[in-house]
Chain A
Amino acid sequence: MPEVDFTVEVCGMAGDGTIAAGGLINEAMSHGGFSVLGFDSYPAEIRGFGRCVTNSRIGSNEIVALGEKTHALISLNDEQSRSRTPSLAEHSLVFFDSNPPAYVPEDNSLLSVLPPGAQVFGIPFGALAVGASGASRGRNLTALGGFAAVTGVDPNLFRKVIRDKFKAKGDRVVDINVKSFDAGYEYALEKFSDRLKSIFSKIETDHDPKKVMLSGNQAIGMAAIDAGLKLYFGYPITPATPIMEYLAKYLPERGGRVVQMEDEISSIGAVLGSFYAGTRSMTATSGPGFALMTELITHGVMAEIPAVILDAQRGGPATGLPTKTEQSDLHAAVFGGPGDSARIVIAPTDVEECYHFVIRSFQLAEKYQTPVIVLTDFFLDNRVENRPLIRAMEGQAASWNVFPDEAFKDHYQRYADTPSGISPRALPGMEGFNFTATGLEHTEKGSPDYSPENHAKMSEKRHRKLRYALKDLEKPAEFFASDHLDVGVIGWGSTFGSVLEAVEKSRKNGFKVGALKVTSIFPYHSETIGAFMAKSKRVLVPELNYEGQLANLIAHLDSKPVDRLNFVTGTPIPPSAIQSRIEELLGVLA
């Protein structure tokens, strides 16, 4: 069976229906049984202007990273699409409107900047759409029709997803959109009859009906709801805002509520307040907002109050690069804030994990009475994947809080020093367990106490609790495990997919390379990570940050220095960059 690994981009101006077209490609190919990973980029702050680009990587095997080279470019706006040409693969297919409303000077034309091997498919998108539907709005669908015809996609896949997308708007809308698609499809079949490819037509894939097309943000929102979230407190910030918007739409029907707070400080304050009162709540933010939260996060650590904070990382520092992706809040997430304030930090690596980790974060927060930080990033939040997603099982919404025994009624010690470090936690309203939660250093009872013995003892208790939490935290997963490795690559977060692909390719080239996926950032499984490092001749940690923040965290686990690959391009690390670094290291070894 021939393999498909095909990347298609749609590029246009806001208003061209670019994002919709990209979404339809993802859905159609997903229905066709392909693995799909999609990522849109558009100017998040200023809607109505600027360039929109969708990137969909479509594979017959599982796709774990973004496509590096574009095999097909669908241009809904040629001037904007000019920026896409550097990433075109050799012999890429380029679909463009061959009958634009006005003549285009060469300096603005897309075709004048294509690489020589590009195969151009001019289709009068607008004119065909007008013919099919009476308006040129459907030109994005006409373009999809052309794409489907030339690449050999079963048109019924597109017709189905177009129907699904527009059915809420009535039969007429469905009809004109299908007609627009068909117009492009038939035009291209006929016009390019001698240039048709069968890229997708000959592939047989097992379609898994359980596969759903989801973005990281949607998975996060769904998980929060499935976890029984009642309150979301947040302040708008790219790229976390879609989580708030998702919940604002779906939480009310579950009896929950989204409160847009005045800032991130109040957001985390309210989250702590509501968890203190026994109600699951969360907030999502990005670097700048996270920075504002740190004091109260350490308050959660000290007062032992659960909280769930999702940090959707973007480019930093300060306001930085709001619409770009980066993994540079790791230090802040693990260490940010005053004092010895260890808290739980976990980082999903794909959309499916976004779902499971968010559910898990509520449980961990409750059980260990501490803020749990879920680190995602722009890329992970916004990319879409079609993975089989197991929705929450029964009981995911059940509290993991450890309640005090009735026996302690009336002589309850809120911060009792137990072997696990977990002090059973009462909730307001419980008779006979009144206490004051405080961020001052306190005794087991909860009274302020700054004595050296007490601070030492309580610091130890809090950290013991965190160490104990490790047993509930996902262990690092080793891929292509073996006893000795020439290069061991450690990846985390959205970057891990690129690591996996790079390692797999290097292995196909015959190299002894392995990968370790670290999702528990703090506390971390030092023994597993250390053992992996020890058995690797070289250890490579690719990250989307300048400082090598995960590398810094784990470097001490082995005596040899860690090799780093740091990208601060604002875009995902291409697998090929990791692969060449691996092979460069191997060259050094040889």
Chain B
Amino acid sequence: MKTPARVLADQVNQIQKSGRFSPRSASLPTWCPGCGYFGIHQGLNDCISSLGIPLTQIVTVSGIGCAGRYPFFSKTYGLHTVHGRALPAATGVKLGNPNLTVFAVGGDGDGLAIGGGHLPHIARRNIDVNYLLFDNSIYGLTKGQPSPSSPMGTKTKASPYGTIDKPLNATLMALAYGASFVARLFAGDPKGITEALIEGIRNPGFSIFHIYTTCVTFDKNFKTWAHLKKWTHALPQDYDPTDLGRAFNEVLKDDFSLGVIFKRDA
């Protein structure tokens, strides 16, 4: 005979097996200890858990990079594509089965360099994909080359005399591309990430989460934990994310204010 406790335990067991409460996969992330991506992982997992979306109904799509490894560390369905192509693949997944919740994840090289041409188009098509852009301003996986968001003067082995190109601002680009939901976040604030994701998932179109993060291994100068913690701060109290003009102004004058920058009125 089954005791109520036993029934409950069975149910919990079942639910756990289904992965509903623990999106973390059995394999531990292979990221370097201290990598900012752990914070993002936590933020996204908490969002999935708290919304209770069945893991079988989620597809996490990625390209290549340290960030691109993400699907292996999640119990959702995963589609680990090639460098730069997470967004087109995510488009296909979402249109192929609109019942699925689709996340796309990837680094700044993946999303702003090789795959940079896809961002405007998924935004203008307003495909219901939630895109987490892990912006550490460095190529992590290939061991520390400058990325499109590296500040001028970035010195790496590939740029020993410092870079001379101006960095891209992904939040500003997303606004300009007409993304219907734009948030700027920080890997050191998983709670903030979770909150923004919960809000962004509700947006029936394309949502981009531009997440400042750190590469502890290859960036000792710019987006370090210390710097990011010092530089980032909340958006102004009276900030209205439905005002696109204001959003542009905010992003133009402040690189480090965090929160939901823009959401299109329903």
B96 touches A434 (CB 8 A): no
Q: Count the B residues whose beta carbon is within 8 Å of the partner chain — how many?
A: 41
Which parts of A246-295 form the interface with B (CB within 8 Å)?
257, 259, 261-263, 265-279, 281, 295
- Tell which of A231, A430, A436, A440 has the most Cβ of chain B within 10 Å: A436
Contact across chains for B93 and A299 when beta carbons are under 8 A apart: no
Chain A, residue nearest B121 (CB): A262
The docked-state distance in angstroms from the alpha carbon of A573 to that of B121 is 42
Q: Does B75 sit at the interface, judged by CB under 8 A?
A: yes
B97:A428 contact, CB within 8 angstroms: yes
Q: Is the CB of B82 within 8 A of A273?
A: no
Chain A residues near B85 (CB-CB < 8 A): 265-266, 269, 296, 299
Across the interface, do B93 and A276 meet the contact criterion of CB distance under 8 Å?
yes
- Within 8 Å CB of A428, what residues of B? 56-59, 77, 93, 97, 100
CB distance from A464 to the nearest CB of B (A): 23
**A267 x B88 contact (CB < 8 A):** yes
Contacting pair B125 A259 (CB below 8 A) = yes
What's the interface size class on A, roughly?
35 or more
Bound: A276/B89 CA distance, A:
9
- Judging by beta carbons under 8 Å apart, are B80 and A436 in contact? yes
Chain B residues 84-105 with CB under 8 Å of chain A are: 85, 87-97, 99-100
From residue 200 to 223 of chain B, which have CB atoms closer than 8 A to chain A? none
- Interface membership of B107, Cβ < 8 A: no
Complex contact A272–B92 (CB within 8 A): yes
Docked-complex contact B99 and A429, CB < 8 angstroms: yes
Q: Known interface pairs A262-B117, A273-B93, A276-B93. Does A429 touch B100 (Cβ–Cβ under 8 Å)?
A: yes
Given the interface pairs A279-B97, A296-B85, the reply to whether A273 lies near B77 with Cβ below 8 Å is: no
Query: Are A436 and B117 in touch, CB under 8 angstroms?
Result: no
From A305, which residue of chain B is reached at the shortest CB distance? Answer: B79
For chain B, residues 142 to 163, give those with C-beta under 8 angstroms from any C-beta of chain A: none
- Bound complex: CA of A447 vs CA of B71, how far in Å? 11
Interface flag for B18 (CB, 8 Å): yes
Query: Contacts A269-B81, A428-B77; is A277 near B59 (CB within 8 Å)?
Result: yes
- Does chain B have a CB within 8 A of A404? no
CA distance in complex: A428, B58 (Å): 7
Q: Which of B78, B97, B117 contacts A277 (CB 8 A)?
A: B97
Q: CA of A430 to CA of B97 in the docked complex: distance in angstroms? A: 12
A291 to B194, CA, bound (A): 40
B145 nearest CB across to chain A (Å): 20
A261 to chain B, nearest CB (A): 7
Q: Does B27 contact A (CB under 8 A)?
A: yes
User: Chain B residue with minimal CB distance to A436?
Assistant: B78
Task: List A residues at the B interface (Cβ < 8 Å).
Answer: 230-231, 233, 257, 259, 261-263, 265-279, 281, 295-296, 299, 303, 410, 427-440, 447-448
Task: Sample 23 A-B pairs with CB under 8 A, ordered by A number.
Answer: A230-B96, A233-B92, A261-B121, A262-B121, A263-B117, A269-B87, A269-B88, A269-B89, A270-B89, A270-B91, A271-B92, A272-B92, A273-B92, A276-B59, A277-B59, A277-B100, A278-B97, A279-B96, A296-B82, A299-B85, A431-B54, A436-B71, A437-B79
A275-B92, A428-B93, A434-B77 known; 8 other A-B pairs, CB under 8 Å?
A265-B85, A279-B96, A433-B56, A436-B60, A438-B80, A439-B80, A439-B82, A440-B80
